[in-house]
Chain A
C-alpha cells in the first residue's frame, strides 16, 4: 500500500492563508520575546556534534557569523517594527507638503496627496499612493526589507534608491538615483537613474473622504473618528523632519479640519497613546489611545456597515483561523460604526467561547480591549466595565492596552 502516497496528493493551503498564518506566528513569536538564552550552548553542541569536520566547518561558520554580524546592525534596527501591520494615512491639502522619515527611508509628500503607509512585521514598507505625488529617498544596505510604492495596479519596488511617483490620470515614475523595479498590468520593467516610466493605473484606488467632525468636538471623539477611518497611531520612528512645511497646529484636534489633524498626527505629533497631553483627563486619553492602538480595519469594510454586517453574519461560523479576524472586524464594526455596544459584547463573548484567549491566540487581546471599550463609558466604571478590565489584565498583564485597563481598575 505504499502507493497510497500517490493516490492521496497533498492539497496545500492557499498562499494567502499561509501568509496569514505566517504573520500571526511571527507576531506571536516577537511578542513572546524569546530570550537568546542558549546561543553558546547550541554552538557548543554543534562543535561537539561536528568534531570530525570542525576544522573545515569552523572556518566557514566563523566567516558566515562575521558576515552576519556585519549585517545585523541594520537588520536589528529594521526589526524594531510594530507588532502587527501598522497603517498610517497622510493627506495633504492644497499648498501643503510634508516630509516623513521611516527609519532610513525618507518620503516627501507633495501637495494634494493622499497616501497610506503600511509597515509590515518584517520591516517591509508599502506606500499606497491614492492620489498626488511622493518623492522617496531610500538608503541602501545589505538585506534591506523591500520598500514599495503602489499606485493602483502599478507597483514600484526598490531596495535602495531615490525616485518619485506621481499619480494623476497616469502614473509617472522618475528615478534620480539607483534603479527601481516597476510592475504594472502591462508587464514588469526596470527603470534606471535619469529614466522615466509612465503608465495608466487601471484600477483606481478608492478615495477616502475625510469625515468632518463638528466644530466643538471633544478631543477624544475627534481622535476616535481618526481611528474609525483606518488611521493608526503613528509609531515613534515615523516622524516629520524639522523642515516640515506643514503649519503647526494646536495640540487639540478640535480645530475642525480632520484632514489636517490626521496629517499632523502622522507628521510627527505624538499620539495620545505615547505622550498624553497633561491637560487631558487621564482616563479619556487612555480610552482614545486604546482605540487608536487597535488593529486597522480596512476602509472597504467600514464604508457600508449594513452590507458588511450581512456579510459577516454569513461568514462567521464557517470555522478556520480566518474566523478570528472576521469576528474582530465584526465586533469593531458593531462598536464603532453601528454603535451597537451590546452586539459587540456578544461577539466578544462568542469569540471567547470559540477560541482560547491568550498570548498566542490571534486577536484575543484586541477582542478583550473591544470588550472594555464597549462596556466602559466616560463616567465611573461600571461593574461590567471593571470585570472586562480584570479579564484583560488576567490574560495580558503587560499587554498593549494594559494602561487603559489599569486606569479602569485603579482610577486616580
Chain B
C-alpha cells in the first residue's frame, strides 16, 4: 500500500516535471512543443467546454480562443498546479466570458410528451436528445458562476474542491452555487415534463 502510494507520488511529480519541460520548450519557441501541448490538451478542453456549454456551434472558436489564451499566458505558468488544471482554469474563464456575453436563449413554448415505457427506441433517443436540449436551456437561465460550478461538478464529475480551484473561488461559495443551480433546475423541471423525466432518470440511476 505504502509502496503504491509512493509510486503514485513519484508519478505525479514526474508528470509535473514533464509539464514544466514542455512549457519551457514552448517558451523557447519550439513549434513541435507547442503542437504537442495542443494535441495533449485539446480533447480535455473540448470536453470541459462541452460539459459547460453543451452542443454549441461556436465550439471551434472557443477552442481556438482557449488555446490562444493558453499560449499568451504560458510565461505566467509557475508550475504550482498541474498544467492541465491551469489550462482548465483558462477554459473556464473563456466559457464564463462566452456565457456572460451571450444572452440566455429563450425557452421554447412547444410541449413535447416524454417517451413512455412502451415507446420505440427512436422515440426514446429523440426524447433523450430533447431532454439534453431542455437541460442546457434550463442551465442557460442560471447565472454564469452557478452554471459553471454545476456543470463541472454534476456533469463533469469533479469534486467541489477541484471546481473551486478551477473557478478561483472558495469551496463554500462553490457549494452554494451548486445548491442554487440544483434548486433552480428542480423548479424548472416542475413545469417541464421532458426535463423532469431527464433529471429523474439521472437521479434514479444514481440511487440505484
**Chain A residues with a Cβ under 8 A of chain B:** 1-8, 10-13, 17-18, 20-22, 24-26, 28-30, 32-39, 41-43, 45-46, 49-50, 53, 56-57, 60-61, 64-65, 68, 72, 75-76, 78-79, 81, 121-123, 143, 319-322, 360, 362
Contact = CB atoms under 8 A, between A and B. Distances in A.
B206 A7 contact: no
Given A8-B155, A20-B60, A25-B71, A46 B30 contact: no
B24 A360 contact: no
A370 B4 CA distance: 61
Given A37-B27, A42-B20, A1 B199 contact: yes
Contacts of B59: 13
Contact of A34 (B60, B71, B128, B157): B71
A65 B55 CA distance: 42
Contact of B21 (A7, A36, A64): A64
B28 interface: yes
B202 A79 contact: no
B27 A38 contact: yes
Contacts of B85: none
A18 B42 contact: yes
Interface stretch (B31-39, B87-95, B105-113, B162-170): B31-39
A7 B198 contact: yes
B57 interface: yes
Given A1-B206, A8-B155, A39 B28 contact: yes
B206 A45 contact: no
Nearest to B69: A360
B97 interface: no
Interface in B10-38: 10, 13-14, 16-17, 20-21, 23-32, 34-35, 38
A34 B67 contact: no
Contacts of B38: 22, 25-26
Given A10-B47, A46-B17, A61-B21, 10 more contacts: A5-B51, A13-B46, A24-B64, A36-B27, A36-B29, A38-B27, A50-B13, A53-B13, A321-B60, A360-B68
A322 B59 CA distance: 11
Given A22-B35, A46-B17, A3 B75 contact: no
* Interface class of chain A by DSSP: helix
B60 A13 contact: yes
B61 A4 contact: no
Contacts of A360: 68
Contacts of A43: 20, 24
A320 B71 contact: no
Interface in B47-66: 47, 50-51, 54-55, 57-61, 63-64
A13 B42 CA distance: 10
A79 B75 contact: no
19 contacts: A2-B154, A3-B205, A5-B156, A7-B131, A13-B60, A25-B67, A34-B26, A36-B24, A37-B27, A38-B27, A39-B24, A42-B78, A46-B17, A46-B20, A49-B16, A75-B30, A75-B32, A321-B64, A322-B60
B68 A11 contact: no
Contacts of A37: 27, 75
A2 B17 CA distance: 33
Given A28-B71, A320-B57, A2 B157 contact: yes
B154 A1 contact: yes
B79 interface: yes
Interface string B139-161: 00000000000000011110000
B27 A61 contact: no
Contact of A45 (B10, B32, B79, B154): B79
A20 B135 CA distance: 30
A122 B64 contact: no
Given A22-B42, A24-B64, A319 B57 contact: yes
Given A46-B79, A57-B14, A7 B71 contact: no
B115 interface: no
A33 B121 CA distance: 54
B61 A320 contact: yes
A18 B131 CA distance: 28
B86 interface: no
Contacts of B31: 26, 30, 78-79, 81, 121-123
Contacts of B182: 1
B171 interface: no
A320 B77 CA distance: 30
Contacts of A45: 20, 78-80
A10 B47 CA distance: 6
Contact of A68 (B23, B25, B206): B25
